[in-house]
Each structure stands twice: as C-alpha cells, then as structure tokens.
A = this chain, B = another copy of it.
Amino acid sequence: MARRSYHQYCALARTLDLVGERWTLLLVRELLSGPARFKDLQVGLAGMGTNLLSDRLKELVEAGLIEREDRLYQLTPRGRELEESVVALARFGAPLLGERSAQELWRAEWNVVALQYAFCPERAKNAEGVIEYRIDESCVQAKLTSGALETAGEARWEPDVVIRADGETFLQLAAGELDPKNAEEQGRLELIGSRRLWRTSLRVFSVAR
C-alpha cells in the first residue's frame, strides 16, 4: 500500500506528502523538546490512536526524519530542519490563542516552540546567557548568544537564571494578564540567579510585535 501522494512536482507538495498528514507536525513538535519515549509522546498527542502514533513513527524513521535508539525516539538532523516550518506555522497561530478552553491540553514543553516565535532578534543584540523555566514538573531552557536563540525541552546548559512558576501563573504572565512584579510579590513566581537576564528576557520574548 503506497503512501498517498499529491503527485506534484513541487517542493511544498513533497513536504506535505511526507509530514502533511494529521498529527505528524505535532509529533515533530513533541520531539523538538528532545528525545522521548512512546508513552511521553502519547501525553502530548492525546486523542491520537496508538496504532496511528506507531505507524507515523515508523514512517518517519523510514523517511530519515526520526531515529530510534532502543526505546527512545529523537529527530535526526534532517528532521530538525523542520523546526523553521514549525515555528513559522506557530507564529501564524499565535494570534489565535485566545482564551484557553477547559478541554484544551497545555504542556509547558511547548514553550520550546513558543519561545522561538516570540523571540525578537533585534531586541537581543547584546543579550547573553541561559534562562531556565521550571514550570510545574518541566524544564525549558533558552540560550541567548549574540542575537541568536537556542532552546531545549530539558536541562541541557548551566542556567544563569532559573524562573519557577506553576502553569497557570506562567500562562497569565505570557498573556500579559499578570504583572511579573505582582506575581513575584504574591509568591507565585520565584527567581534564582541573574535578575538582569530575567529583565532582558521580558524584553526579548514578546508575542505582540
């Protein structure tokens, strides 16, 4: 059974033949946070049948976008090239994030993508350092180096500042509904390390541009 194809000699169509099916780009998003197991993936892809997840993983391993080592899945360098597309699509969708409905899932790891579309290079010219977000049980890092950004969904670098909050607090801060100063005074936000880098981060990451 051959995969369904658009049969077009077009770069966009070729990409969509590969990753355009339902769930596939969300699966890539999950792996942009770092290597994951089947079970981990299921959490961020709630509603996706296990058979479908299994099939997709096989297809993407076959296509050379994912590699499997023992029971750990991760993106290959080629697979990681999808990051640019994922971030572009997410940037388009950012204005659509209004209220969060009760039935909607949210995971702190998704900030690995959110940080990237919220990043303003022109405001980060002289920003340097590693910012670590500890939200609920998760850890997301942003590494700033001379106007460029790298992100990770796990503790990969030594942090210069650690920001700790629960998910609800973090979402309110991101939405601009809660003032960082107030949050800290209320004890809902804890800072360890460089306050200067923290203030820089508030300037550098901004959804409204």
Interface residues of A (CB under 8 A from B): 6-16, 18, 20-22, 25-26, 29, 46-47, 81-82, 84-94, 96-97, 100-101, 103-107, 110, 113-114, 117
B106–A8 CB distance below 8 A = yes
CB of A11 within 8 A of CB of B104, answer: no
Q: Most chain-B CB neighbours within 10 Å: which of A8, A101, A114, A117? A: A8
- In Å, the complex CA distance between A88 and B117 comes to 14
Interface pairs (26), CB distance under 8 Å: A6-B26, A7-B46, A7-B101, A7-B104, A8-B26, A9-B104, A9-B106, A10-B29, A10-B97, A10-B107, A11-B89, A11-B92, A11-B96, A12-B25, A12-B110, A12-B113, A13-B26, A15-B90, A15-B93, A16-B25, A16-B26, A20-B25, A84-B91, A85-B88, A85-B91, A85-B92
Instruction: Tell me which residues across on chain B come within 8 A of A89, comparing CB atoms.
Output: 11-12, 15-16, 85, 88
User: Which 6 residue pairs are nearest across A and B when measured between Cβ atoms?
Assistant: A15-B93, A11-B93, A14-B93, A11-B90, A85-B88, A14-B96
Q: Look across to chain B and name the residue whose beta carbon is closest to the beta carbon of A16.
A: B25
Chain B contacts for A101, CB-based, 8 A: 7, 9
Q: A110 vs B15: C-alpha distance in the bound complex, in angstroms? A: 14
Contacts of A10 in B (CB 8 A): 26, 29, 90, 93, 97, 105-107, 110, 113
Closest chain B CB from A126 CB (angstroms): 23
Which listed residue, B9, B46, B84, B110, touches A100 by the CB 8 Å rule? B9
Asked, given contacts A6-B26, A104-B7, whether A97 binds B14 with beta carbons under 8 Å apart, the answer is yes
